[in-house]
Amino acid sequence: MAATIIDSKIFGDMFSEADMRYVWSDENRTAKYLDVERALAKVQGRLGIIPQEAADEIVKHCDVRQIDWVKLKARTEQVGYPIIAVVNQINAACRDKLGEYCHWGATTQDITDTATVLQIREGLALVQRDLAEISAALASLAKKYRDTPVIGRSNLQQATPITFGYKMAGILAGIERHRERLAQLKPRVLVGQFGGASGTLSSLAKGAMETQAGLMQELGLGQPLISWHTVRDNIAEVGAFLGLVGGSLGKIAMDVKLMMQTEVAEVFEPFAPGRGSSSTMPQKRNPISCLYIHANISVVRQHAAALMDAMVADHERSTGPWEIEWVVLPEIFCLMAGALKQTKFVLAGLEVDAARMRANIDITKGLVMSEAVMMGLGPCIGREYAHDLVYELCRAALKDNRPLIELLAEHAEVSRHVSRAKLEEFCDPANNLGQAGHMVDRVLASLK
């Protein structure tokens, strides 16, 4: 019976995603234990550290389909760790006691950590796929709305006009940095573990480093310079990276939520009949995906902090911090998968109302163009005087509920220097988008 939101029959595919759940499932985790034991036997047989006959027999029985899950659960609860329970079953399945050579020179944490790294590799591949799709969706929006004016907002107040393409390109640049971070962290993180009891491989009288090198080559992982049983920055880095990704997804969700407000109504999540409806207010169109994104990434950040707690480990094999990773790492990946999925959905079908964006720029009757007016008047009457003059005219426009341009055109000092036509140019949002389009183009040109 599922008790967590990730595995819920009702909520599981809203908060998470099936492929990522499989990566962190008991079945896949155990299969990864077997992958490591199989690779270890193959390498040690090839090196002559264990008999080739034993290696062949062990390899034959490192098959997750042969696992007795009831026995595995009972033995794990008895011992406290699943690796011995897995090795017991391999040993029992092998003929002529050849299974005694299984796990030769290894310790529980070697197998567990290396299996975890294999799971991380699979999980990061899914994240990489989703980030590429999100990048493509943002690039499409940035290109399509490169020159579509929308009001910029500062402290939730109208600021100066930007373009919606500029808004999307700014977020896109951050996503691209995440993709770069992911490529950079892989060589540090995708490194296996094989060190024995205290990490020194004292359990193998010969061929220790050759075994380690061969094992990592067999699994497609990097060989560690030194054992990292209680030096866990690599695992914490994964959590920190996913926390950063979550922050960017949360930024998307936050802006979409705010822009969906009735009084704003500039963009909307994709429409489907009944989606976002209220049980009591039929007129409502609530954000849905954005809410799940917000919830998921908030928990991911807390879990990332827990992985940093897990770094504070005692001596060469820790007493508890290691198990923190067992609890939070699967949840970090599964919740992030859900946030990524919801973000892809939002961006792929985002509804953009360019007319409403322009109407919202105009609701202040030109006040949002005060900076452009000030800068336009500056060369004629001096910037400081222009600032004070425009400030007073803005106050008057608010008090009398009149368009700013009317007050500007009526002011003797202004009209002496600037024509009505020039004032209209100052007050046209399309003429005051700065380098927005150029910056969009720079971001799009940087995509690989």
Q: Tell me if 407 is assigned to some domain.
A: no
What is the DSSP track for 29-54? HHHHHHHHHHHHHHHHHHHTSS-HHH
At 1 the pLDDT is 83
Domain membership flag for residue 124: yes
Q: What is the pLDDT along the chain (448 residues), one digit of tens a residue?
A: 888 999 999 999 999 999 999 999 999 999 999 999 999 999 999 999 999 999 999 999 999 999 999 999 999 999 999 999 999 999 999 999 999 999 999 999 999 999 999 999 999 999 999 999 999 999 999 999 999 999 999 999 999 999 999 999 999 999 999 999 999 999 999 999 999 999 999 999 999 999 999 999 999 999 999 999 999 999 999 999 999 999 999 999 999 999 999 999 999 999 877 665 666 666 668 899 999 999 999 999 999 999 999 999 999 999 999 999 999 999 999 999 999 999 999 999 999 999 999 999 999 898 888 888 889 888 988 889 889 888 898 899 889 999 988 888 888 888 888 888 888 888 888 889 999 999 999 999 999 7
Q: At 440, is the secondary structure helix, strand, or coil? A: helix
129, 173 Cβ separation under 8 angstroms: no
Long-range contacts from 393-396, C-beta under 8 angstroms, 24+ separation: 394/367, 394/370
What local confidence, expressed as pLDDT, does residue 426 receive?
86
228's enclosing H/E stretch is none
Q: Are 117 and 192 in contact (CB under 8 A)?
A: yes
Residue 277 is predicted with a pLDDT of: 61
> CA–CA separation, 336 vs 315, rounded Å?
32
For residue 422, is it within any domain?
no
**C-alpha distance from residue 310 to each of 230, 238, 342 (Å):** 9, 13, 29
What lies within 8 Å, CB to CB, of 169 at 6+ separation is: 138, 142, 439, 440, 443, 444
Residue 89 included in any domain: yes
Q: Cβ of 382: how many Cβ atoms within 10 Å?
A: 12
Helix axes 233-259, 108-144, angle to 10 degrees: 30
Please report whether residue 225 resides in a domain. Answer: yes
Token pair of 140, please? 């499409």
Catalytic residues: 278, 317
Where residue 242 sits, what CATH number does that domain have?
A: 1.20.200.10
Q: If we measure between CA atoms, which residue out of 196, 192, 194, 198 comes closest to residue 316? A: 198
Which three-class secondary structure state does DSSP give residue 365? Answer: coil
pLDDT in tens, 255-280: 999 999 999 999 999 987 766 566 66
What pLDDT shows up at residue 278?
A: 62
- pLDDT at 140 (0 to 100): 98
Q: What are phi and psi of 351, to 5 degrees?
A: -95, 125
Cα–Cα distances (Å) from 435 to 89, 139, 166, 356, 405, in that order, read 66, 18, 9, 23, 24
Rounded CA separation 66/274 (Å): 47
The pTM score is 0.94
Please give the residue range of the domain that contains residue 60: 12-357
C-alpha–C-alpha distance, residues 407 and 85, integer Å: 83
What's the pLDDT tens digit per position in 101-148?
Answer: 999 999 999 999 999 999 999 999 999 999 999 999 999 999 999 999
Q: Is residue 420 part of a domain?
A: no
pLDDT of residue 151: 96
In this predicted structure, what is the pLDDT of residue 282?
A: 67
Q: Looking at the domain assignment, is residue 444 inside a domain? A: no
Which secondary structure element, helix H or strand E, spans residue 160, and what is its range? strand 157-163
Counted domains in the chain:
1
Say what the pLDDT of residue 281 is: 67
Q: What would the DSSP string read from start to end of 247-303?
A: HHHHHHHHHHHHHTSTTT-SEEPPP-TTTT--SS-TT-----HHHHHHHHHHHHHHH
Residue 117 within any structural domain of the chain: yes
